Amino acid sequence: MSHPILAAIAAGFCFCVTGLRADIHESASGLAIELNAVSKAPGGCHLTFQIRNTTPADIDRLVYEGAFFTNAGILDRLALFDFGEIPADARRIRHFTAPGLDCETLGRVFLAEASICETSGSAGSACGEVPQLTSRTDVEVRG
């Protein structure tokens, strides 16, 4: 499902990948997405997510449609979160910088549905998994 407006908004998003591994709720099975940190960045807001894939399938690419809401519940903007590759039984850290977004007024991140989910191999599909969404920050994450 492609949305030109979302793609244009996502173009301003910085997608970074690191090799960091941190703790995520070990009780989660399937897919788990955690908002691990939110911090002010030059000209915007920096969000750090941790993704855990305990399914038997490698995810070659995972992209979620999303939205940012203020503390007052007002929609600030739409976004695409390109989490990239998430191997089976692995964790990954993904960083996103939202230009012009004020971290202090950010109240909720909404992750709608996976607009792109590509898997490889015959071990089954992680794409049908509904992810467990959590936050270690004051910013709520919902799906």
Domain locations along the chain: 4-142
Burial 64-103 (b: 16+ CB within 10 A, else e): bbbbbbeeeeeebebbbbbbeebebeebbbbbbbbeebeb
Model's pTM, two decimal places?
A: 0.78
Q: What is the C-alpha separation between 63 and 83, in angstroms, rounded? A: 6
Nearest to 142 by CA among 84, 49, 62, 66: 66
Q: Which fold has domain 4-142?
A: Immunoglobulin-like (2.60.40)
Q: How far is CA 33 from CA 4, 36, 51, 72, 100, in A?
A: 25, 9, 5, 24, 24
Which pLDDT tens digits describe the chain residue by residue (143 residues)?
Answer: 434 333 334 434 443 433 333 444 455 568 999 999 999 999 999 999 999 999 888 999 999 999 999 999 999 999 999 999 999 999 999 999 999 999 999 999 999 988 898 887 655 567 777 899 999 999 999 99
Q: What is the C-alpha separation between 14 and 132, in angstroms, rounded? A: 24
